[in-house]
Amino acid sequence: MTKQDIVNTVAEATGLTKVETEAVMNGVMATIIESLGRNERVELRGFGTFGVKHRMPKKARNPGTGEAIYLPERHVPTFKPAKHMRLHVNDSLT
């Protein structure tokens, strides 16, 4: 499912136009991204929690050449699904 598919589905379910729905979705996504950029957690109850995890620098190996490379420290976005979402997905797929 793509972003446009979600916009179409939500617009149909809510009666909003696709333009309005896409504006809301863009606003939600921008807010989440900005919050993560400030190292803030974003919790959407019943859906999940977005966060940022710090990764320490480490040595790795290029699998193609075998050359040792250095991976600098970095921050990566994370997502932990809520219990309700995990249960629903599990029940739907079993």
Residue 55: give its domain's CATH number. 4.10.520.10
Do 18 and 52 share a structural domain? Answer: no
CA distances to 13, 17, 67 from 46, in Å: 19, 26, 45
Does the pTM of the predicted model rise above 0.85?
no
Give me the number of domains the chain comprises: 2
Do 53 and 33 share a structural domain? Answer: no
Do 75 and 56 share a structural domain? Answer: yes
Residues 22-32 have pLDDT tens digits of 999 999 999 99
Do 57 and 11 share a structural domain? Answer: no
Task: Please give the biggest Cα pair distance in the chain.
Answer: 56
Residues 38-83 have pLDDT tens digits of 999 999 999 999 999 999 999 999 999 999 999 999 999 999 999 9
